[in-house]
Amino acid sequence: MNSLLQDAQAAGARVGLTAEKITINGGRPLRGRIQLKGAKNLVTKAMVAALLADGPSELRDVPDISDVRVVRGLLDIHGVKVTDGPEEGVLLLDPTGVESAHMADIDAHAGSSRIPILFCGPLLHALGEAFIPDLGGCRIGDRPIDFHLEVLRRFGAVVEKLPSGIRMTAPNGLHGAKVELPYPSVGATEQVLLTAVKSDGITELRGAAIEPEIMDLVNILQKMGAIITVDTDRVIRIEGVQRLTGYSHTALFDRNEAASWAAAALATEGDIFVGGARQAEMLTFLNVFRKVGGAFDIADDGIRFYHPGGDLKPVVIETDVHPGFMTDWQQPLVIALTKAKGVSIVHETVYEQRFGFVDALVDMGATIEIHKECLGGHPCRFGQRNFNHSAVIAGPTVLHAADVEVPDLRGGFSHLIAALTANGRSTVSNVGIISRGYENFISKLQQLGADFVLEN
Ligand SMILES: CC(=O)N[C@H]1[C@@H](OP(=O)(O)OP(=O)(O)OC[C@H]2O[C@@H](n3ccc(=O)[nH]c3=O)[C@H](O)[C@@H]2O)O[C@H](CO)[C@@H](O)[C@@H]1O
Ligand SMILES: C=C(OP(=O)(O)O)C(=O)O
């Protein structure tokens, strides 16, 4: 069995999804309401932050996704007691019994997530050592961790690479540092925050990422007693403190899931009310959605996304760090672009290999060409490096049914949308991977009127 399939099955099994394949009878618009919970890209980091406290934390709106379960398992191995709260979606995290981990167990739990790398700072503070297994996450580029390791060294960590992962110690404790990131990496910014808050002295981070999920992590850390200033021009200053308390927090909604269902509404000519979605964190997406010809109504408790009739229009998009067009939005939106009348361009500037998912779309009849050049207008890091990172999508096309295999989280969701729009019965396999970031997506599809059956 290949490792992609193993990851997919393990991820699905962790959230009780036993089916491996979905057969979808396409052509029906998705209509109805769904409710979001907290963001995968915040909740998992908030769980790690609980390790920094000297008392219990409470996190609300936690989605039942496999990445959350992976982090829960890792926390458990380290002696953080994680229990379900009295209400659905509430986690209680008690770090008072934190202890050194058993390496073999960690190895078994790292599988599908990139979060283990963020345990470094908190574990070094709590125990003076950390072991980080090989990382998972979507295979959409090389995804090195050089920024993380360099940052940790600046704080005083000693890094030792082992065949099974990375071991880290801090023989002289951790001290504040001046750090400048070569690229505003989300994970490396979080690494700095989670390490600096309890390091001796002041840390100045330049070139920081400022995604809404990072700002919500800053909110959490401030609740815990941290002193963090977010300045203009991607500068973050952190004054280290000796102790942090537990927090009580409701997680920011998952704007990536919201954008995915919005794209599904548009591509299937449907109408979906996405409960919990908010305008402020989705401004950039909403502009593009409108330019493509989608319509939305913003309410206090969510956003209604729908196809208002008429032709969809082509767009030129460049993915970018916040406040730009988020890379995780492009894969689901590409399906709507296959329905637009004219030629669209998507220039992917965050990951060098995020177009693997289009092969299946071409098999389904889409007209998509991938290019090595930077076609969006601005040259990016990948332009001179031979990476297939620009897509040209010509439409409108009616997709036909096919058997497709989910390659990664967002690519997988876009395959689901493609199958939902296609004429005939498509089979989408490896669907377990989708459970990494979409809570109860099978029930949501049911609620929205999709016509499908699950298979093993
Ligand atoms: C769990 C989580 O929150 N995942 C999100 C996070 O991923 P993640 O935090 O992994 O993404 P980064 O922002 O770190 O990566 C951005 C770019 O920086 C590069 N890089 C990163 C670190 C490093 O040490 N060296 C390096 O070269 C990466 O290869 C990539 O080209 O932000 C991405 C960009 O918004 C999102 O697509 C992911 O959904
Ligand atoms: C790339 C993604 O996630 P991760 O960083 O967890 O692989 C994603 O959510 O689309």
- Beta strand 425-429 with 403-405: parallel, antiparallel or unpaired? parallel
Mean pLDDT is lowest, of 4-18, 44-58, 171-185, 236-250, for 4-18
Is 120 one of the catalytic residues?
no
Q: Which comes out higher in pLDDT, residue 82 or 132?
A: 82
One-letter amino acid identity for 318? E
Nearest by Cα to 119 from 111, 108, 129, 109: 129
Ligand 1 atom closest to Cα of residue 145: 24
- Cβ–Cβ under 8 Å, residues 416 and 428: yes
- Beta strand 342-347 with 390-395: parallel, antiparallel or unpaired? antiparallel
Closest residue CA from atom 3 of ligand 1: 41
Closest residue CA from atom 32 of ligand 1: 186
Q: In which residue are the tokens 């008072």 written?
A: 96
Mean pLDDT is lowest, of 1-10, 156-165, 353-362, for 1-10
Mean pLDDT is lowest, of 3-7, 277-281, 403-407, for 3-7
- Catalytic pick from 120, 138, 374, 380? 138
- Cβ–Cβ under 8 Å, residues 325 and 319: yes
Report residue 67 as tokens. 């990445």
What's the confidence (pLDDT) of residue 100? Answer: 67
Which residue ranges are tagged as binding site for phosphoenolpyruvate? 40-41
What's the confidence (pLDDT) of residue 1? Answer: 41
pLDDT digits (tens, 9 = 90+) for 142-164: 888 999 999 999 999 999 988 87
User: 174: how many CB neighbours lie within 10 A of its CB?
Assistant: 24
Which helix or strand (DSSP H or E) is residue 81 part of? Answer: strand 81-84
User: Residue 139: pLDDT band by 50, 70, 90 thresholds?
Assistant: confident
pTM exceeding the 0.80 threshold for the entire prediction? yes
In the predicted model, what is the mean pLDDT of the chain? 93
CB-neighbour burial class of residue 199 (10 A; exposed 0-12, middle 13-18, buried 19+): buried
What's the confidence (pLDDT) of residue 2? Answer: 47
- Cβ–Cβ under 8 Å, residues 2 and 424: no
pLDDT digits (tens, 9 = 90+) for 416-451: 999 999 999 999 999 999 999 999 999 999 999 999
350, 382, 385, 389: which to mutate for ligand 1, most atoms within 8 A of CB? Answer: 350
CA–CA separation, 426 and 364 (whole Å)? 9
Q: Long-range contacts for 93-97 (Cβ within 8 Å, ≥24 apart)?
A: 93/47, 93/50, 93/56, 93/57, 93/58, 93/59, 93/246, 94/55, 94/56, 94/57, 95/50, 95/51, 95/52, 95/53, 95/54, 95/55, 95/56, 95/57, 95/126, 95/246, 96/54, 96/55, 96/56
- Beta strand 342-347 with 316-318: parallel, antiparallel or unpaired? parallel
- Residues touching ligand 1 (Cβ under 6 Å) are 41, 114, 141-148, 183, 185-188, 209, 211, 327-328, 350-351
pLDDT digits (tens, 9 = 90+) for 300-325: 999 999 999 999 999 999 999 999 99
- Domains in the chain (CATH in brackets) are 3-36+253-455 (3.65.10.10), 40-250 (3.65.10.10)
CA–CA separation, 34 and 155 (whole Å)? 44
Radius of gyration of the chain (CA): 22
- Beta strand 21-25 with 452-455: parallel, antiparallel or unpaired? antiparallel
Closest ligand to the CA of 44: 1
Nearest by Cα to 9 from 85, 66, 89, 72: 66
User: Residue 402: pLDDT band by 50, 70, 90 thresholds?
Assistant: very high
Kindly give the distance from the C-alpha atom of residue 311 to the centroid of ligand 2, in angstroms, as a whole number. Answer: 32
- Cβ–Cβ under 8 Å, residues 334 and 386: no
ipTM higher than the 0.90 cut: yes
User: Residue 342: pLDDT band by 50, 70, 90 thresholds?
Assistant: very high
